[in-house]
Amino acid sequence: MNVQNKVAQLASTDRDWWRGAVIYQVYPRSYQDSNGDGIGDLPGITERLDHIASLGVDALWISPFFKSPMKDFGYDVSDYCDVDPMFGTLADFDALIARAHALGVRVLIDLVLSHTSDAHPWFAESRADRTNKKSNWYVWADPKLDGTPPNNWLSIFGGSAWQWDTQREQYYLHNFLTSQPDLNFHEPQVQEALLDVARFWLDRGVDGFRLDTINFYVHDKELRSNPGLEPHERNNTIAPSVNPYNHQNHLYDKNQPENLAFLRKLRAVMEPYNAAAVGEVGDAQYGLEILGQYTAGDDLMQMCYAFEFLANDRPSAREVADVLTKVADVAGDGWATWAFSNHDVTRHASRWAMDDSGLRMMATLMMCLRGSACIYQGEELGFGEAEVAYKDLQDPYGIEFWPEFKGRDGCRTPMVWENSNQNGGFSEASPWLPVAPEHLARAAAEQEDDPEALIHHYRRVIALRKAHPALAKGGLKNLSVEDDVLRFERHLDGDRLFCAFNLGETPAMVALPDGTWAGVGDDVEAQAPDAGQVHLPRWAMSLARAV
């Protein structure tokens, strides 16, 4: 690959390409199996890139495919600069990049920088003794006098965030599984090694990164214990309610101000490539504030997303407005990315108990919000959460907290491409997770042949966003709520669009702002205004342009 030509090509394009971009997330284990082993892979993604490109998205985000023991399915990395054989080879990745770019789709890869696998050579060296060259690359601490962990930090996956190591006779920090030790970002060599990882993939042609757990990188150097939360202060948007992780105010195990210095270094590495990053902010108390901090100005991350719209309860018009108001307040100089579903949460079709009319409205709402947008594979087909029997569970999170929390396997079952057999065109072998029988009726091939199917609505609303730059890159003003109706305007260079969404069950009559307005979006079932007002049935919307 001629890297210099690639850099020159990117430098000549829109440097704000990420602003308002629509990003499609692929979970590689479950997208397409190309070699008959029941596990999706990189050649399988390449095989299905036409489907992704046909949606009109700007970029593809691929969840981890690096070498890994797969105890957390790739989020436990043992080699940052190679492809796990179950997913293919570096040559397969190069072919994917080439095909995606030929289709006009940029590629973001999922970098897991906060921790590695305990099978990573860095950790093997670090744990060997207290004096080796990498002895400080992970977060090691002596026990308290009574042998207990150095503080009260908890793991998201349950129990203490500290694991005793008999080789060093010290504890090491793991915010997730015990097999996922946290890297020590207070060690300059660790930061430089991770920046080299970014350079490796940028040189290989990636267009940027999705940054896993971006606010977990740096820990409090003094290892101070977190304060507790009163029951009424707890929020389960990050961990399920059965997890005691929610009982703490996580002031010291993450969200440290030193993180900003590392993010500036990462942005400087990315700049010559015109690459962009979207960070995942995992915090129940301060998510939007951190989003604002990490995307402010032009030397940090371009985008971040928090968990407000990944919560269990379907948001009301007032709750959506409150989120948008807070973003304007704490992240006005930054840029949000919105997602309703991903590989870690119950699919929103089930989580919010929505039929197709509701899914159409929410897809349109996402495309009208100020920010970028992430679509999770199968969302465009209307997939609900799959029911996975305990005997079929793969996710350690679900196994730990079953049955009160069933884990993440229900949103990770394979894509369904056609319904001629129980594997749905995903694989010729038995899949690593069973295909959901209820998904077969929503197979991609079936929807392609039905002009009224949900997939065509997704294509139309993405096209609508691109046809009106004010929706993709413009500002948002005149936000208001009337009963269950959310109203706002998007504006850019004198272009004004009025947007109204009925998020309730009761029909509503909505008055448009003063002026002359022409309806847009009739192909996405937007209700046209008439004489300065518009009737909105249940879960309906109206879009109009000032003329």
Provide the annotated active-site residues. 212, 280
Dist CA 538 CA 529 (whole Å) = 16
Sequence-ordered list of residues with C-beta below 8 angstroms from that of 441, at least 6 positions apart, any chain: 419
Dist CA 452 CA 366 (whole Å) = 20
Complete edge-to-edge strand list for the sheet that includes strand 517-520: 475-482, 485-492, 495-502, 541-546, 517-520
Rounded to the nearest 10°, the torsion over CA 367, 370, 372, 374 is -50
Cβ pair 80, 195 in contact under 8 A: no
Closest-CA residue to 251 (of 213, 233, 224): 224
Terminal C-alpha separation, the chain: 49
Buried b (16+ CB within 10 A) or exposed e, 389-401: eeeebbbbbbebb
Dist CA 126 CA 129 (whole Å) = 7
Dist CA 276 CA 259 (whole Å) = 18
The amino acid at residue 233 is E
Dist CA 16 CA 21 (whole Å) = 9
Cβ pair 65, 54 in contact under 8 A: no
Dist CA 358 CA 385 (whole Å) = 16
Dist CA 162 CA 151 (whole Å) = 9
Residue ranges of alpha helices (H) inside 68-140 are: 90-102, 121-126
